[in-house]
Amino acid sequence: MLEKIGYTKCLIPSSSPLVQSKSISIMTKTILLLCIACYTFAGFSQSSKPKLVIGVVVDQMRAEYLYRFQENYTENGFKKLIREGYNLKNTHYNYIPTATAPGHTTIYTGTTPANHGIIGNSWYDRKSDKLIYCAEDFSVEEADYPLNRNAKNNAMYYARSPKNLMVSTITDEIKLASNGRAKVIGLSLKDRGAIFPAGHLADYAFWYDIRNGNFSTSSYYTSKLPSWLVDFNRRQIPDSLLNLTWEPFLPIERYTNSTADNVSFEKIFKGNENSTFPYDLKGLRSQNGDFGMLMEVPFGNSLLTRMALTTIKEEKLGEDAETDFLTISYSSTDYVGHTFGIRSMEIDDTYIRLDRELEGLLNYLDLHIGKENYLLFLTADHGASDFPKYRQEKKLSGNFYDLGEIKKKLDAHLCIIFGEQPFIAHVDYTELYLVNELEKREEILKEVGYYLSAMIDGINEVFIPSLPTLTFRIENQKGLFENSHYNGRSGDVHFYFKPGWMAKKEYGTTHCNPWASDTHVPLLWYGNKIKIGSSVKKHTVTQIAATLSMLLDIPLPEAADHQPMAELFR
Ligand code: ZN
Ligand code: ZN
Ligand code: ZN
């Protein structure tokens, strides 16, 4: 009971000799008085809400990184969240593709692409016969900003909004419930990592501009950047970070749970001869995307932490009684993963450094907001898989698939049966769209289903939404396709590959499959009212929004899973 109402620090265990002493009544009174003093001083109670909620998404973080790299973590980053917070150890995504935009959207809407509509980072649009980027919105442009005013192609980078997001987010709900008083801000290096978490009603979503190293936003949020951000950009922190050398943070012999530094399936930066530390960024940046290169090294996370601390201070987040909401999405983890792979020394080092970033963030929050006054959760938008070449070396199953080849073979097969004509408008990692005008559509779909299932190596399961009874459904993947299909946006056919299969690439890793490698993510809760503990019960990421809703006493996002993570409330 005492623990529930936030007295944890004042609790003395019942096994303590103090409780068993003769002066028990005096001691009890003293304890109670102390507790009341704590209560009054800290100004919180069971009904007290946090002044600030912080949602941290670590892009591409596999749940196992909490443990595999743990011996090199400090006591004050990930380990503090585990030790002093609640660890939901078995939390998963439940749709395909497990990718950045659907992942972030699912966390904050509490539902899957079938409802929120963000079915991928981009998708094929039947009406325009074009690919649509998840956050594109050509009715908006870059927010007014003197340093960027004449920059070319602003539309490409800042024609962005949550327009394509079809349901409310938990951040929308806090805005509505507070009659607009709660401040909501989204931050990430990626536009989609900032925009979808912050929702439709956000004050701001800021993301990184690879052309100049600035943070900016679109006119959806504001016509003018806050002056503190103009000042922050003038400091040109990315420029300083890109003049550093990326060396292992710890002595190299401590990286015992990653592969050798120089393996054949790591990307070699232009200007380098191999993929080993140290990386002289100053010498490499001009050939490797200049400001864009910051995304691919851990210093991109350092920049985001500084941006987060500046945002909290300058926007006065958590300073008044109204609960504010800051969403932070660390992107460099994803780029380093794609570049070097999930067992590389480079990803190991990136997490060792991110752990120190978290330490800095938590220290700042403890000092300036107070641990009981903020609520923090940390999760990921998806995991990532082992590179097929590595799996083959280890005698595990799996291989590469080539979508171009699959499309060619399928087209040839359909031509033999139905005659020469265009059949396939678009195919991506999990979906296939037929061209709009097709006679014998149903017959063609049946043939596509047969061919993909029976003739293409590696495909595990195929689903045709218009012919659902045709599909043989695998027991432990029930609901997967239904959670993934958004009417009017999704393809005519859904499919996914067996474990260990990956779209053809030269190095690193990727994600999008429905297996544990890509679905299993960390979920840590910490701070205000959060008790200490852990649970191995299986949860889906869709339950995060309902949990926030119950913790904050605000409405569920409209399409959210109704089931919060009950362990936190017992
Ligand atoms: Zn991602
Ligand atoms: Zn390496
Ligand atoms: Zn990725």
CA of 382 to the centre of ligand 3 (A): 8
Q: How far is Cα 561 from Cα 552, in angstroms, rounded to an integer?
A: 16
pLDDT tens track for 215-225: 999 999 999 99
Dihedral (CA of 332, 544, 39, 14) sign:
negative
> 114 C-alpha vs ligand 1 centroid, how far in Å?
19
Task: Give the number of the ligand closest to the Cα of residue 274.
Answer: 2
Nearest listed ligand to the Cα of residue 60: 1
Nearest alpha carbon to residue 323 among 527, 535, 29: 527
Cα separation, 446 vs 453, whole angstroms: 11
Q: Tell me how far the alpha carbon of residue 507 lies from the centroid of ligand 3, in angstroms.
A: 13
Give the model's pLDDT for residue 245. Answer: 98
350 contacts 332 by C-beta, under 8 angstroms: yes
pTM of the full structure:
0.91
Neighbours of ion ligand 1 (CB under 5 A): 59, 100, 334, 381
What span, in angstroms and rounded, lies between the C-alpha atoms of 357 and 62? 18
Centre of ligand 1 to C-alpha 160, Å, is: 18
Give the number of whichever ligand sits closest to the CA of residue 345: 2
Q: pLDDT tens, 76-108?
A: 999 999 999 999 999 999 999 999 999 999 999
Per-residue pLDDT of the chain (570 residues; tens, 9 = 90+): 233 322 222 222 333 333 333 333 444 444 444 444 443 344 333 448 999 999 999 999 999 999 999 999 999 999 999 999 999 999 999 999 999 999 999 999 999 999 999 999 999 999 999 999 999 999 998 887 555 555 555 567 789 999 999 999 999 999 999 999 999 999 999 999 999 999 999 999 999 999 999 999 999 999 999 999 999 999 999 999 999 999 999 999 999 999 999 999 999 999 999 999 999 999 999 999 999 999 999 999 999 999 999 999 999 999 998 999 999 999 999 999 999 999 999 999 999 999 999 999 999 999 999 999 999 999 999 999 999 999 999 999 999 999 999 999 999 999 999 999 999 999 999 999 999 999 999 999 999 999 999 999 999 999 999 998 777 677 788 899 999 999 999 999 999 999 999 999 999 999 999 999 999 999 999 999 899 999 999 999 999 999 999 999 999 999 999 999 999 998
What is the C-alpha end-to-end distance of the chain, expressed in Å?
10
Which pLDDT score is estimated for 307? 98
- Tell me the catalytic residues: 100
Report CA(387)–ligand 3 centroid distance (Å). Answer: 14
Can you give the pLDDT at residue 147? 54
Which-ligand-closest: CA of 93?
1
CB neighbour class for 454 (10 Å; exposed up to 12, middle 13-18, buried from 19):
exposed
Q: Is 53 helix (H, G, I), strand (E, B) or coil?
A: strand
Greatest CA separation for the chain: 95
Tell me which H or E stretch contains 27: helix 24-42
Single-letter amino acid, residue 317: L
CB-based neighbours (< 5 A) of ligand 3, an ion? 334
Q: Which ligand is nearest to the CA of 346?
A: 2
Question: Can you give the pLDDT at residue 472?
Answer: 67
Using the mean position of ligand 3's atoms as its centre, give its distance from the Cα of residue 88 in Å. Answer: 23
- How far away, in angstroms, is 341 Cα from ligand 3 center? 11
pLDDT of residue 478: 85
Which 3 state secondary structure label does DSSP give 530? Answer: coil
Q: For strand 524-527 and strand 374-379, is the pairing parallel, antiparallel, or unpaired?
A: antiparallel
335 Cα–ligand 3 center, Å: 7
